[in-house]
Amino acid sequence: MAKRKDDASKPLSKPDAEAVAGKGGETHQIASGDTPVLTTQQGVPVADDQNSLRVGARGPTLLEDFHFREKIFHFDHERIPERVVHARGYGAHGYFENYGPLADVTSADLFQRKGEKTPVFVRFSTVAGSKGSADLARDVRGFAVKFYTKQGNWDLVGNNIPVFFIQDAIKFPDLIHAAKPEPDRAFPQAQTAHDNFWDFISLTPESMHMVMWIMSDRTIPRSFRFMEGFGVHTFRLINAEGKSTFVKFHWKPKQGLQSVVWNEAVKINGADPDFHRRDLWAAIEAGDFPEWELGVQLFDEDFARKFEFDVLDATKIIPEEQVPVKRIGRMVLDRRVDNFFAETEQVAFCTQNIVRGIDFSDDPLLQGRNFSYLDTQLKRLGGPNFTHLPINAPKCPFAHFQQDGHMAMHNPRGRVNYEPNSWSDGGPRESPEAGFKSYPEPVEGPNVRVRSETFSDHYSQARQFYISQTEIEQRHIGNALTFELSKVQTPAIRARMVSHLLNIDAGLAEVVAAGLRLKEIPGPATAARPTRQDLKPSAKLSIIKNGPKSFAGRKVGALVTDGVDAAVLAALGKALKAEGAMLKLIAPEVGGVKDSAGAWHDADEKLEGGPSVLFDAVAILPSKEGAGLLASLPAARDFIADATAHRKFVAYAPAAAPLLEKAGVAMDEGFVPLNKSGDANGFVARCRGLRFWDRAAAER
């Protein structure tokens, strides 16, 4: 093993920076050198760029924080008209069906009656890439839901990961600037495998829990339909008596969890960069409507005080073993959009959009988002009247005195446009009985820029996530870190990241250090709090442990030629249909093939355009003559080799044996022979496991 060097985790020296000053202005310099002092756009030196101004260490963010507002305001207006983040998105309409009354914890109208359906619009997205980037980038996925309730619109603006990189919204511009293409070269696109991102992350220990998630398979989901969603923050539910209950929101896919492997993701992006979009569209068109259950973790102030971490810290989760997720309703997406631009592109989500019975916590990241999102929509959609667009307008009655502005589509009628007024027909009027009421949380403390000490443990839950993964998932995390850091050109940044990994898991750090071939192993990074070793693994954090119980919603790609066994093909199609899965035919020519009984079958894909990466399992069903033809085609050999390498279940006809040998694959128990029509049911049953992970063990 390489020699340990205890000072390798020290920060890099900052490069010289050119000073920026207005005409006739002078740059503020620090006394000890030439590095300019960070200032506001007005030239005011900044004392703290790490924390927003709040009341006390755990209190709400103050509107008077001019530095935070200027920084976020400028960041929100950097792009036009594309979203700065979440630019590549895809949406669908549906409904939320409530399972039963929740009046004991919330007065929110949509949760009061069993079986009541509330219209919703959902937008899934990647975060870092532009509108033209590919679907299978390794990235966080946005999972935003707009509920059109009878009390107004509620936006649950979440992600497919329950934690975030940062604890304070003032750091969001820095995070996204670091993750986006480097400004002097405008690449890499939709990737974090570059120096700027890992430089920022390695200097931001609070990101380490999120690092474990983004380097896991969570960031390369098989489909929008097979991923979880999270509200990320701690919110409040308020009942009719004004009692508050803390809540974290979860979306649980009824189809189960599923991701792809990295090599597969890379090839899918080349074969079909619209893979996730096409999948959601096709599922809805086929009537295979995606479903999620809405779950809540409910807890009180007493639990929040006793919990190992701060419930206001967005870099932390509450393990489901400690607070189980109660499933309170289901969401079904059953209608695609009529026009992508009018709906998916123009939809405006704002975390501030809540309804009576739901309220905020003092999470500093959430507090900042409540400002940022509204400001963003103002710029992106051209003015304050974006709520006039049909996709953003509430479906319940609404009335207010807001008027005019860019592209106003409706205005108050008559002489009255203010409140209070003395006219008998001068409504609308406020309603203390029906109106929204904020929870009267007592707040006291000095105006300070500090981070609460309860936010200072940055490694313990990162370790908990890692030890909660299966062996194959842990290997994927190690491989992902090694790949990403191998693209970093600055050796000191690589070493600095390994120093953080030593605080998470020594074995993981050694794997990454060996993969990067570090000349010297750094010492562990300085930690504000030591990593806790007593946190138990949480099975709910593993994808493989929470896979589907059926093969429903998945696809089998069958490679066929003329003379394909008619009985076997029919039996396979029947078995997949009974399972709720799909059979797609891939043939040498897209026109199709003639089976052994003389019947014609149209092909879904031409061989070169339908690689095995597009399917969840494959079947190799050529005739004897067809196998000879396919053996000479590189695309056919790649079809089989990739399916094998990606641990997929492979069904094969007896005639395919020479083709499999030509493709250079070694058959194992993940290969299922289809000698007769009755074998099809057994193959589909095996496919419920999604992948034959033991093949990975054999390769290792």
**Residues carrying an active site annotation:** 86, 159
Phi/psi of residue 628, each to 5°? -65, -40
Instruction: Label the pairing between strands 520-522 and 3-5.
Output: parallel
How far, in whole angstroms, is CA 120 from its chain's centroid?
Answer: 19
Selection from 214, 219, 132 nearest residue 181 by Cα = 132
Residue 22 Ramachandran class (φ > 0 left, ψ -120 to 50 alpha, else beta) = beta
| DSSP-assigned beta bridge partners for residue 292 | 253, 331
Selection from 604, 611, 662 nearest residue 632 by Cα = 662
CA dist 552 and 558 (Å) reads: 17
Burial 115-139, CB ≥16 within 10 A → b, else e:
ebebebbbbbbbbbbeeebbbbbbb
CA dist 485 and 498 (Å) reads: 10
Selection from 541, 446, 476, 456 nearest residue 693 by Cα = 476
Orientation angle between helical segments 471-486 and 491-501, nearest 10 degrees = 160
Phi/psi of residue 564, each to 5°? -55, 140
CA dist 546 and 40 (Å) reads: 48
DSSP3 helix / strand / coil % (the chain, rounded to 5): 30, 20, 50
Residue 185 Ramachandran class (φ > 0 left, ψ -120 to 50 alpha, else beta) = alpha
- What are the angstrom distances between the C-alpha of 161 and each of 106, 141, 210, 340? 25, 8, 8, 26
CA dist 92 and 89 (Å) reads: 11
CA dist 417 and 400 (Å) reads: 9
| DSSP-assigned beta bridge partners for residue 251 | 229, 294
Q: Where are the alpha helices (DSSP H) in 487-561?
A: 491-501, 506-516
Cβ atoms of 118 and 111 closer than 8 Å: no
CA dist 263 and 430 (Å) reads: 58
